[in-house]
Amino acid sequence: MSDRKAAVALSAKKAPIVRLPPKSNLEILLARGSQTAVILIGLVVFVFALSAAEYILMPICLGVVLGLMLGPIASRLEARNMPPGISATIVVLLFIIGLCLFAVAVAAPLSFWIERLPQIWANLKVQLAELKGPLEALRGVRDQLREITGSEGIAVSVDQGVGVESMATLAPAVIGQVLIFFASLYFFVATRHQTRIAILRLCFNRRLRWRVAHVFRDVERLVSDYLISISIINILEGVAVGIGLWIVGVPSAAMWGALAILTNFIVFIGPAVMVVVLFVIGLAEFDTLGGSLLPVAIYLTINMIEAQFVTPIVIGKRMTLNPFVVLLSLVFWIWLWGPLGGFIAVPALLVVFALARNIIPGMGWGETQSR
């Protein structure tokens, strides 16, 4: 009884409450500033890590993105009781066959244009002579700017050592990246279900498991729907561009249509490159400056119809992306990994949106317009 009374007496005694003095505004500001600095340092380290590991991470990311795109094909094969390893093999073989067919279709026209490069350069010099007046005016403006700024221009030195040695050094790296890409594509498609289950098992409670499952679902749906839809749109646009160029008499119209398909995967930058290429082809094939702008006009008309009407109707029903955020993502990934980074830019943005929508409350990024 005495022990019980002692325990009751001890429990009755309340521990003294220690009241800390309230933090001043300066202390709160410093605490939040330190947290922000840690986050910024982490982002900078992450970006430099991506840049340093470009050789390995770029083909892996490209394989994962294409694996998300081709995943529905593997899922349909697996629905017919086909093992994941075999379905992944079929998907990779279909992708390789598509690349080979594209290379065969483009090889002959490309060799034709390579043989015509000297003639094209001669025609370009004749056509550019018509621009002598505007170029002289620009040269006069440049000279005036030099006089005002006192600059003598920029000297550019060209390294003449690029040759067989650099190609011998570059070839193994390219082959290694190709092998990493195909290995990543195959193993991602073959093990995507096991990977999802393994990650879900690491979740320590039901709510977190539910969120992670929804992240997987949204990433697969958004990236797959976007890439499949944009691929169909680009193919149709390339066919229309090829037919339009063939009607006005541009040689190898099918090859330029195929180039339009590839460049349109890199938003903003790809169409600009296509305009420059078609302008050069127009200068080489037509006698007048107005005629040389005809291929560019055909491409821009078709591209404008696609960008303003077709893509918003098809893609806009599934997702809404801020064009400025898309531009920032495109600039970042092209700066980081070059042209292939431009292809990864929008899928990477969709992954970030899927994560934000399921982690940050109230965020509707990437939501469909119907919602």
Domain map of the chain by residue range?
A: 53-127+175-359
C-alpha distance from residue 41 to each of 118, 196, 331 (Å) = 52, 30, 21
Interatomic CA distance for residues 347 and 63, integer angstroms: 12
Lowest mean pLDDT among 114-118, 174-178, 264-268: 114-118
Helix (H) or strand (E) holding 361: none
Q: Three-state SS for 155?
A: coil
pLDDT by residue (tens digit) across 92-101?
A: 999 999 888 8
So what's the pLDDT on residue 188?
A: 92
Q: 17 vs 164, which has greater pLDDT? A: 17
> Residue 90 — very low, low, confident or very high, per pLDDT cuts 50/70/90?
very high
Q: Three-state SS for 267?
A: coil
So what's the pLDDT on residue 214?
A: 85
- Cβ atoms 181, 175 nearer than 8 A: no
So what's the pLDDT on residue 371?
A: 39
b/e sequence 106-137, b meaning 16+ C-beta within 10 Å: beebeeeeeeeeeebeebeeebeeeeeeeeee
Place of tokens 């495109």: 330
Average pLDDT, integer, range 186-196: 90
- Cβ atoms 229, 315 nearer than 8 A: yes
As a whole number, the mean pLDDT across the chain is 78
Q: 131 vs 25, which has greater pLDDT? A: 25
Inform me whether the pLDDT recorded for 71 exceeds 80. Answer: yes
Interatomic CA distance for residues 105 and 85, integer angstroms: 30
At 79, list the tokens.
Answer: 């629905």
Place of tokens 């998907």: 91
Average pLDDT, integer, range 200-205: 84
Interatomic CA distance for residues 350 and 222, integer angstroms: 7
Half-sphere exposure of 94 (CA within 13 A, CB side): 14
- Rounded to whole angstroms, the maximal C-alpha distance in the chain is 114
Q: 125 vs 256, which has greater pLDDT? A: 256
Q: Smallest Cα–Cα separation from 86: which of 94, 77, 95? A: 77
Interatomic CA distance for residues 312 and 38, integer angstroms: 39
pLDDT by residue (tens digit) across 25-53?
A: 777 788 888 888 888 998 889 889 988 88
- Nearest 5 degrees, angle CA 195-CA 197-CA 202? 100
So what's the pLDDT on residue 20?
A: 59
So what's the pLDDT on residue 370?
A: 40
Helix (H) or strand (E) holding 234: helix 206-247
pTM: 0.71
At 350, list the tokens.
Answer: 């969709």
pLDDT by residue (tens digit) across 265-313?
A: 887 788 888 888 888 888 777 777 677 788 889 999 998 888 878 877 7
